[in-house]
């Protein structure tokens, strides 16, 4: 068919954004920056927002942020919402991927609620994991997240993207995720 298989994006830490942008210029490959004190997300909010803005200035067109998991443990949903809204604003025109760190969230209820808050706050994508947690992207977490996406779509008509990450390393596991996406989101 003449189609070329290529990655959608390269994902780099902030110091490498400008180099990556130059390296992929003209290829159609996006540059994603892992921002907000990846992978822990524990720097002050002002520092995390400055990192997003710097990555966008350097040419990143996708920003991967990580939520502070403590806000989920404490059920501080409004604070989590407000932080993600601020991150969304700092992204400007760049896509916002919100990494939930689901391996650290303890319950599927927390995964579902964090997914809904992230989408309501302006996430373009929700992502399971940083890839650095001890548990990354098990299928039940994926199911909870894509059902949250489906619920949001039914309410708003706006479809949010989904990215499973970490430990998806065989064709068989990839097929499981493809089936999940087909069955739940069409």
pLDDT tens sequence across 11-70: 999 999 999 999 999 999 999 999 999 999 999 999 999 999 999 999 999 999 999 999
What are the start-end ranges of the E strands in the chain?
9-13, 30-34, 62-66, 95-99, 125-127, 161-163
Provide CB contacts within 8 A for 62, sequence distance 6+.
9, 11, 30, 31, 32, 33, 94, 95, 97
Mean pLDDT to the nearest integer, 143-161: 96
The pLDDT of residue 163 is 94
Tens of pLDDT along 101-119? 999 999 999 999 999 999 9
Check pLDDT > 80 for residue 84. Answer: yes
Check pLDDT > 90 for residue 86. Answer: yes
Check pLDDT > 90 for residue 1. Answer: no
- Exposed / middle / buried, residue 126 (Cβ in 10 Å: 0-12, 13-18, 19+): buried
Percentage above 90 pLDDT, the chain: 88
Query: For residues 166 and 135, what is the distance between their CA atoms, to the nearest angstrom?
Result: 8
Check pLDDT > 80 for residue 2. Answer: no
Percentage above 70 pLDDT, the chain: 99
Q: What is the side-by-side strand order in the sheet with 30-34?
A: 9-13, 30-34, 62-66, 95-99, 125-127, 161-163
Task: Determine contact, residues 130/137, Cβ cutoff 8 Å.
Answer: no
- Look up the pTM and report it: 0.94
CATH 3.20.20.70 fits 9-185, yes or no: yes
Check pLDDT > 90 for residue 141. Answer: yes
Query: For residues 123 and 116, what is the distance between their CA atoms, to the nearest angstrom?
Result: 10
Catalytic residues: 64, 127, 163
* Mean pLDDT for all residues in the chain: 95
Produce one character per residue of 145-160: b if its CB has 16 or more CB atoms within 10 Å, e if not. Answer: bbebbeebeeeeeeeb
């Amino acid at each position: 068919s003449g189609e070329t298989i290529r990655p959608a994006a390269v994902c780099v830490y902030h110091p490498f954004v400008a180099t990556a942008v130059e390296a992929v210029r003209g290829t159609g490959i996006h540059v994603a920056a892992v921002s907000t004190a990846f992978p822990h997300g524990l720097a002050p909010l002002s520092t995390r927002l400055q990192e997003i803005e710097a990555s966008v200035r350097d040419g990143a067109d996708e920003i991967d942020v990580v939520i502070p998991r403590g806000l989920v443990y404490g059920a501080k949903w409004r604070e989590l919402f407000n932080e993600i809204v601020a991150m969304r604003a700092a992204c400007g025109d760049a896509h916002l991927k919100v990494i939930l760190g689901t391996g650290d969230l303890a319950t599927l209820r927390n995964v579902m609620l964090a997914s809904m808050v992230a989408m309501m706050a302006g996430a373009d994508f929700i992502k399971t994991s940083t890839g650095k947690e001890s548990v990354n992207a098990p299928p039940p977490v994926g199911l909870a997240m894509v059902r949250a996406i489906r619920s949001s779509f039914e309410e708003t008509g706006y479809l949010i993207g989904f990215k499973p990450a970490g430990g998806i390393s065989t064709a068989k596991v990839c097929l499981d995720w493809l089936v999940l996406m087909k069955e739940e989101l069409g």
